[in-house]
Amino acid sequence: MPAPTVVSAAIRKTPGVEDVDYSFAEGSRPLTWTGIHSPDRIHTFSYRGGTNVHGSLMFIVDYNGTVKYSQSLMRLGSSPPQDWLDATHPVMLQIESRLEQDCGLTNLSETVQERLVRVKIQ
């Protein structure tokens, strides 16, 4: 897990990003055969740019030190408009490249699996 200040700076340097907010939270405490472990550490970086770039990047570090990375574009109550998707997706890809360059995260863009999930809300 890179230092949050370094991640924030890398996201902020990405073309199309104007603002980045960082938050930290602890998740649940996993119960395994070896006992109750320390909670997941959740680092969230929400970013915006212009009127159409809206994304969130998350690193989750578990008790073993395993780090999971994800980026998302969501909107509560409805699907994000197509213009948000069109504007944010290229920024997400640029952020992944920037994280590789500035944070030393090797092969990030090659190992990320993209998913598009649409939920129809009535």
- Structural domain includes residue 119: no
At 120 the pLDDT is 55
Q: Provide the whole-model pTM.
A: 0.86
The number of distinct structural domains making up the chain is 1
DSSP string, the chain: ---HHHHHHHHHTSTT--EEEEEEEE----EETTEE-PPPEEEEEEEEETTTEEEEEEEEE-TT--EEEEEE---TTSPPPHHHHHHHHHHHHHHHHHHHHHH--TTHHHH-----------
Whether residue 66 lies inside any domain: the answer is: yes
Range of the domain at 12: 4-103
* pLDDT, tens digit only, all 122 positions of the chain: 899 999 999 999 999 999 999 999 998 888 888 888 989 999 999 999 988 999 999 999 999 899 999 999 887 777 888 899 889 999 999 999 999 999 888 887 777 777 776 655 55
In a domain, 121, yes or no: no
74 inside domain: yes
Q: Is residue 45 part of a domain?
A: yes
98 falls within a domain: yes
Q: Specify if 110 maps to a domain.
A: no
Does residue 112 fall inside a structural domain? Answer: no
